[in-house]
Amino acid sequence: MTSEMNSWLPLKGIRVADFTQVIAGPACSMLLADMGADVIKIEPLAGDFWRRTVSGSAFLNFNRNKRGIAIDLKKPQGHESVMKIIQKSDVLLENFTPGTMDKLNLSYEKVAQVNPKIIYCSISGFGQDGPYRDRPGYDPIAQAMSGIMINTGEPDRPPSRVLPTMVDYLAGNHTAYAIVLALMDREKTGKGKRFDIALLDVAIMQMGQFVAMYTMTGELPVRMGSGYLAAAPYQAFETKDGYIYITVTTDEMWKNLCQALKLGHLFRDPRYSTLDGRRQNRPELAAEVTKVTKQYGSRELESIFVTANVPCGRLMNIDEIIQDPHVQFRQIMEDIEDPEKGKVKIIKTPIFVSGKAPKIRRRPPLLGEHTSEILKELGYSQQEIQELLDKGIARQYQA
């Protein structure tokens, strides 16, 4: 780790009161924490539900570099403690169903009274207003309602969701971007901001080119499996031992592929001599190319294509990705030692500075791990902290 990367924490000094759970919100605050922000994860006494879901893997991945406090903010003393955190924070981040923060007496209006410069960010399924505002929203629901899901999968099979919660993560990215912009703006104006980020809006944005195409041509997109409408051959092809993805977008690439696989008869075929021709005859072309790719192992074929300057990539699963020499060279993964889960690989934020990604400075917090530490910073005496713990208003992790 270079000294520059160790010291490059541009958000150091920024404090985030993080009420979020699941993925979209924690992904946002993770990006801020990776860049130096003091993110205080505020959890109920039972903890973030995702601590216990899918073996806690999502929680571990999206909550590094944060401190954690467990407190019952429905109790007056718990609410008072949380308000003290908010008073000393630059950002408040929440992803409850709209109206929940109002019920907790933590609405933007209430918070802005005690901290007028606060940057208050809400992530929800459908936004803070509109006919669907009260509906709970999740990543696959956004995929379903945005056109992503109905257009994903093989043509003759049911629609498929994208397995990673990409809409959640993109919503977190957009929110982090908005927060950084608001921090820059506050330097000039002295004023905070109120942000409303909706998963459905973020998902629809990903379908932008297809919306534009429909308004211009009246054509709806269709499921193409691993293919893509812009070019051919442009999809996953079967090999002896798996699949390889090939993207041929130019006539030069097509020539290179035909030379590499000794497909002179296809190169001379007038049906495939142009990009439009290859697109229009996609199924027939794919069948012809597959006859040859099935004769090779995927690693051998990848080597042939790389040498021939044909863009490609083997379809790899997690076990292969971890062992991949390029992935290892980039050091995008880092092992953390969790007291409860043992050694776990975490993916770092892919923003490289001086050749290195941001360091994981702190593993994800155990439930209530920093409760006493944070309360002490807020001015509570040890006796007052113990009183909150004894009354079951706050929780401190004990090994």
Tokens of 204: 């629809």
| CATH number of this structure's domain 3-206+332-395 | 3.40.50.10540
Tokens of 235: 């999809």
CA angle, corner 313, sides to 307 and 315, nearest 5? 145
Average pLDDT rounded to a whole number, residues 69-81 = 97
- Least confident window among 25-39, 49-63, 129-143, 190-204: 49-63
Which H helix or E strand runs over 243? strand 243-247
Tokens 């499996």 locate to: 225
Whether 208 has a pLDDT exceeding 60, the answer reads yes
pLDDT value at position 6? 54
pLDDT over 70, % of the chain: 98
Whether 5 has a pLDDT exceeding 80, the answer reads no
Residue ranges of alpha helices (H) inside the chain are 3-7, 24-34, 57-62, 76-87, 100-103, 108-114, 139-146, 166-189, 199-206, 208-217, 251-260, 264-268, 275-280, 282-293, 298-308, 318-323, 325-330, 371-377, 382-390
For the chain, give every domain's residue range: 3-206+332-395, 234-320
pLDDT value at position 355? 87
| Per-residue pLDDT tens over the stretch 139-148 | 999 999 999 9
Whether 3 has a pLDDT exceeding 80, the answer reads no
Whether 205 has a pLDDT exceeding 80, the answer reads yes
Tokens of 41: 């994860």
Q: 334: closest CA among 357, 366, 365?
A: 357
The overall average pLDDT reported for the chain is: 95
Q: Can you count the helices (H) and strands (E) in the chain? A: 19, 12
Q: Which residue has the higher pLDDT, 399 or 79?
A: 79
Q: For domain 234-320, give the CATH superfamily.
A: formyl-coa transferase, domain 3 (3.30.1540.10)
Confidence at 1, pLDDT banded by 50, 70, 90:
very low
| Per-residue pLDDT tens over the stretch 86-131 | 999 999 999 999 999 999 999 999 999 999 999 999 999 999 999 9
113 by Cβ neighbours in 10 Å (0-12 / 13-18 / 19+) ranks as exposed
| Per-residue pLDDT tens over the stretch 233-253 | 999 999 999 999 999 999 999
| Per-residue pLDDT tens over the stretch 334-392 | 999 999 999 999 999 999 988 889 989 999 999 999 999 999 999 999 999 999 999 99
Burial readout 235-267 (b: 16 or more C-beta within 10 A, e: otherwise): bbbebeebbbebbbeeeebbebbbebbebeebb
DSSP tag of 127: -
Average pLDDT rounded to a whole number, residues 162-172 = 96
Tokens of 317: 């699963």
Confidence at 309, pLDDT banded by 50, 70, 90:
very high
Beta pairing partners, 244: 237, 314
Tokens of 364: 């994800």
Which H helix or E strand runs over 334? strand 333-338
Tokens of 321: 């990705």
Rounded CA gap, 337 and 341, in Å?
Answer: 8
pLDDT over 90, % of the chain: 93
| Dihedral sign (CA 331, 333, 338, 342) | negative
Grouping H, G, I as helix, E, B as strand and the rest as coil, residue 41 is strand
- Kindly report the pTM of this predicted structure: 0.93
- The one catalytic residue in 34, 48, 139, 168 is 168
Rounded to the nearest 5°, which phi and psi values hold at 346?
Answer: -120, 140
Average pLDDT rounded to a whole number, residues 310-317 = 97
171 by Cβ neighbours in 10 Å (0-12 / 13-18 / 19+) ranks as buried
Tokens of 315: 């379809």
Tokens 């505020």 locate to: 42
Average pLDDT rounded to a whole number, residues 247-269 = 97
Which H helix or E strand runs over 91? strand 91-94
Greatest CA separation for the chain: 85
Rounded to the nearest 5°, which phi and psi values hold at 394?
Answer: -125, 160
Rounded CA gap, 296 and 318, in Å?
Answer: 22
Whether 228 has a pLDDT exceeding 80, the answer reads yes
Tell me whether residue 324 is one of the annotated catalytic residues. no
DSSP tag of 389: H
